[in-house]
Structure 1
Amino acid sequence: MPPPNSCSINAASPDESEDVEPLLRDDTVPPRCCSARFNLAILMFLGFTVVYGLRVNLSVAMVAMVNTSDAGLGRNSSVTHACPLPAGSENSSGAFEQPDGTPQYPWDSETQGWLLGAFFFGYLCTQIPGGYLSGHYGGSIFLGLGVLGTAALTILTPLAAQWGPYWLFALRALEGLGEGVTFPAMMAMWAHWAPPLERSRLITLSGSGSNFGAFVALPLTGFLCQALGWPAVFYLCGGAGCMWAVLWFMLVSDDPRTHKRISQEERDYIVSSVGNQGGGHGWSVPLLRMMTSVPLWAIVVTQMCFNWSFYTLLTSLPTYMNNILHFDLKSNGFLSALPYLASWMGSLLTGILADSLIERKVFSVTTVRKLFTLTGMLPPAGFLLALAYAGCDHVLTVTFLTLSSATAGTSAPGVFLNQIDIAPRYAGFLLGITNMFGTVPGVVAPIVTGYFTEDHTMAGWRKVFQVSAAINVGGAFVYALFGSGDIQAWAVAEEDEGGAERKSSRPVST
């Protein structure tokens, strides 16, 4: 039973209080600082920092791994003259100096596109199984093993590259298999750990490690490539992932009830706030009803549209900085990282703001999710269009890229945590479904980018940015029309089915 004077996230009447998730008043909420739930978010944040570093380091390292003269890049005049070379021989986009004995490979643009997209072939395959198993067994083991497996395989990257592009493609796909379980496992854990009024800040904090990882990895990769040679990138990043996994398995627990270092006050708060919906699901899930759920399909379509531009920039931006704007490798990594710093900051701030709007009863959960989804998709599309016509202006290019990513970060408390709103019990499984579809652009976008930019012209890159902007706008309108924050009737546990109709028919609001 909820404590006296507590309020419900569904604004239910007193006689309905047992059918909904109970919430506590502000003066009964245990401190967030140094709490078990906040420490879990920080550890997840560090884990996603590592895995995104492992995911993006090839994007920058590719510039150093490829022998541009052998690959035929230098024979095409459009490569050299798409934008004028900056003054000073040290700031050209020619071959980069590597320590003696560092290998380089004659991979053309198409081969590079396939190698950059290889990760996502594997990433697609383990989303749904990872979410399903995490919801049944608990997410900690799958998140930990996902990071550990990806990190261990990353250490083998120089060996696979030496054997040939097919071996490297296979290795990157295997890395994707390991990392594919991480986000569904995260969401499955938060179904147990995140009080409804803290969902936005906790989930955006933990997931924002992806942007922070890209921000750290891109310039660090450029520095390591020039200082130690590109193989060092994969050895050091892989080792960092293995070290994180040791801490993870030592410190985490799937459920606050079994956590060894949580206070009784915090345990009671989380358990009473989450309620029955915080339990794991059994072996059976309502697949047919999920497949016909309009709010779920709205999440799927919107994440696919958003991720098109995200993965386009994630995998191809260093190449654009090098081949078109002619930044040197060290500057390339730093400037490619600025958009992710802006996105990280945007996601953290809006996560706190979203919880505040819900807690203060300014907007319903549905309105908050739609508001931040629209701000995270429409302005970025405008900045991408501006980028398409920025030409060779370095300042404008970096400015528009940074603004696009900063505003895109505001979508974090929007569509990207909507699964836990509509079906807390199946949140990990639903994230597996939506993330699987959302990963399709990670496979297709680098290949399409390689096709558009095979001649390394500004016109080709303009098409890349225009297509990304158009897809973003389409996804925003889909979510505005069909998105929802209501707990769906099919997501209610059997023992609560009597209240399903009331829950699903009322707006989810405070």
Structure 2
Amino acid sequence: MTNAETTNPDFPEYDWNEMEKSYILSSFFWGYFVTQFPGGYLCRRFGAKLTMFVSTLGSALGALLIPFTVDWGGWQVYCGIRVVQGLFQGLLFPCIHSHLAAWCPVSERNRLGALANTGIECGTVLAMFLSGIIAASSMGWPGISYISCGVGVVWCILWIVFAANSPSESKLISEAECNYIESSKNALKEVDARDTPKKIPVPWEAIMSSWPFWALLVARSAQSWGFSTLQAEIPSYMNGVLGMDMKSNALFSALPYFAMWCMSYIYLILSDVLLQKEILSLNGIRKTFNSLAFWVPAVGLIAVGFVGESQQTLAIVLMTANVGINAGSTIGSALNTIDLSPNHAGILMGIVNTSANIIPILTPLLVGLIVKNEEDRTEWQIVFAISAIVFGLGNLFYIVFGSTKLQPWDDENFLLSKDIQNEDCVDNKSTETKEKY
């Protein structure tokens, strides 16, 4: 859109300055973090099926608007569309975690949850490679919007036809399979797998006073801080200090995400083996993988800051390895919402992702305060040191206070039993008072 030399020159080119480009790139996140928390609520109210359908369809139709509106509305309209797309896509992740909690048998949650998350890296790699090819074709850069919209609409059709909020609502699985999933989730109590799921009130006070929940929140916020540095700031450092324009090279841009995609499967297979052979418990796997995903890139961030201008290959290897190894955070902590509370997984993910998605907005501001000259290595070393400390301390907090145990407040009768206890306390106090008189 801003460089016709690298795309089909028959389509409009827009002369936007760097500030306007940065607004466009960041505008998606302005909307995205706003709907994280509402996403968890809407999922509980209307179900994951409808909420995910609306989320994806709204984002897809937003993409279709871009070629028809940018020509007369400029970068401001483009920003507005990206904000709206962010608002729609912000609903998605809380729904995904709620959906995984509803559909995955306990023994398979780790595997299926990690497998579902590999789609993120796969989509990123495909988008980076195919976008350049599409833009250079006869469709030009508008083709990226058309195809993105088409893929989204096709997914929505398949989703609305085949998806169901829970096994008990699905008409496409056998009763035996439904009973297997439900009995796995309710191993300690007898349930009828075809019962309609209850609407369970959210125990806000218990959640907010739970140390395992705060450990998860801290870990995911630290992950967001560290990953935003790996994703956005290292390429800027390599351009300013090492003279490497990573963003203009599709291979260099996609390589870290390709490594992340591959490493996701390695972590997935390894965790399965460790669990099945009982070498590590689920708690041990979560904390071990999260330690690898946080502490190894923390060291790598420090190392990148000392790479010389003649060691460009080493810089690429370090960046790719750091991002690839960081893939372990999905199994390490991202899926912990389902461990703590399957009934409230969507709400937990909404809270956690709201916090985590504020970080990518704050990180560039801090970098802007520290880095006054992009060619000054010392200033960048301070940025990397801060990110390494955040990675290190965030994981340490998770190791100490994190847990994979099902929390008491997940129980559907938790608030009811608490109310009964409070009433008993009031009755006892009343009886004691009467006895005194």
TM-score, normalised on structure 1?
A: 0.72
For 1:213 and 1:458, the matched residues in 2 are separated by 35
For 1:319 and 1:387, the matched residues in 2 are separated by 12
Counterpart of 2:106 (choices 193, 196, 202) is 196
Q: Give unmatched runs, 5+ long, in structure 1.
A: 1-63, 68-94, 499-510
Question: Could you tell me which residue of structure 1 aligns to residue 322 of structure 2?
Answer: 404
**Does the 8 Å CA contact 1:307/1:438 hold for their aligned counterparts?**
yes
For 2:327 and 2:154, the matched residues in 1 are separated by 28
1:481 aligned onto 2:400: yes
Q: Give unmatched runs, 5+ long, in structure 2.
A: 418-437
1:261 aligned onto 2:168: no
**CA pair 138-407 structure 1, distance change in 2 beyond 3 A:** same
Alpha-carbon shift at residue 435 of structure 1 (Å): 1.0
1:349 aligned onto 2:266: yes
Question: Could you tell me which residue of structure 2 aligns to residue 442 of structure 1?
Answer: 360
Question: Could you tell me which residue of structure 1 aligns to residue 78 of structure 2?
Answer: 168
* Paired residues, number: 407
For 1:452 and 1:364, the matched residues in 2 are separated by 42
**Does the 8 Å CA contact 1:281/1:425 hold for their aligned counterparts?**
no
Alpha-carbon shift at residue 96 of structure 1 (Å): 4.5
Question: Could you tell me which residue of structure 2 aligns to residue 56 of structure 1?
Answer: none
Alpha-carbon shift at residue 327 of structure 1 (Å): 4.5
Alpha-carbon shift at residue 156 of structure 1 (Å): 2.3
**CA pair 280-465 structure 1, distance change in 2 beyond 3 A:** farther
AA of the residue aligned to 2:401: F
Partner secondary structure for residue 16 of structure 2: coil
**Does the 8 Å CA contact 1:321/1:336 hold for their aligned counterparts?**
no
AA of the residue aligned to 1:139: A
Counterpart of 1:157 (choices 63, 66, 83) is 66
Counterpart of 1:369 (choices 279, 282, 286) is 286
**Does the 8 Å CA contact 2:235/2:246 hold for their aligned counterparts?**
no
AA of the residue aligned to 1:490: W
Counterpart of 1:224 (choices 115, 129, 134) is 134
| Aligned positions of 1:181-330 closer than 5 A | 181-227=91-137, 229-275=140-186, 282=199, 284-315=201-232, 325-327=243-245
AA of the residue aligned to 2:392: V
Counterpart of 1:177 (choices 80, 87, 107) is 87
Alpha-carbon shift at residue 318 of structure 1 (Å): 6.3
**CA pair 153-317 structure 1, distance change in 2 beyond 3 A:** farther
Partner secondary structure for residue 282 of structure 1: coil
**Does the 8 Å CA contact 2:230/2:323 hold for their aligned counterparts?**
no
**Does the 8 Å CA contact 1:135/1:281 hold for their aligned counterparts?**
no
Partner secondary structure for residue 262 of structure 1: coil
**CA pair 446-218 structure 1, distance change in 2 beyond 3 A:** farther
**Does the 8 Å CA contact 1:222/1:329 hold for their aligned counterparts?**
no
AA of the residue aligned to 1:232: G
Partner secondary structure for residue 164 of structure 1: helix
**CA pair 295-304 structure 1, distance change in 2 beyond 3 A:** same
For 1:328 and 1:430, the matched residues in 2 are separated by 36
AA of the residue aligned to 2:252: L
Alpha-carbon shift at residue 266 of structure 1 (Å): 2.1
**CA pair 211-141 structure 1, distance change in 2 beyond 3 A:** same
Larger mean Cα displacement after TM superposition, 282-291 or 225-234:
225-234
**CA pair 111-474 structure 1, distance change in 2 beyond 3 A:** farther
- Structure with the larger helix share: 2
**Cα deviation 1:407-426 (Å, max 9, x = unaligned):** 11112111101111111111
**Does the 8 Å CA contact 1:149/1:178 hold for their aligned counterparts?**
yes
**Does the 8 Å CA contact 1:157/1:234 hold for their aligned counterparts?**
yes
Partner secondary structure for residue 253 of structure 2: helix
**Does the 8 Å CA contact 1:211/1:341 hold for their aligned counterparts?**
yes
**Cα deviation 1:441-485 (Å, max 9, x = unaligned):** 232234445666675435365554443333212211111111111
For 2:128 and 2:303, the matched residues in 1 are separated by 24
**CA pair 444-158 structure 1, distance change in 2 beyond 3 A:** farther
AA of the residue aligned to 1:242: V
For 1:202 and 1:429, the matched residues in 2 are separated by 20
Alpha-carbon shift at residue 272 of structure 1 (Å): 1.1
1:338 aligned onto 2:255: yes
TM-score, normalised on structure 2?
A: 0.83
1:65 aligned onto 2:2: yes
AA of the residue aligned to 2:210: S
Identity of aligned residues (%): 31
**Does the 8 Å CA contact 1:298/1:482 hold for their aligned counterparts?**
yes
**CA pair 462-197 structure 1, distance change in 2 beyond 3 A:** same
Alpha-carbon shift at residue 283 of structure 1 (Å): 5.8
AA of the residue aligned to 1:126: T
Partner secondary structure for residue 65 of structure 1: coil
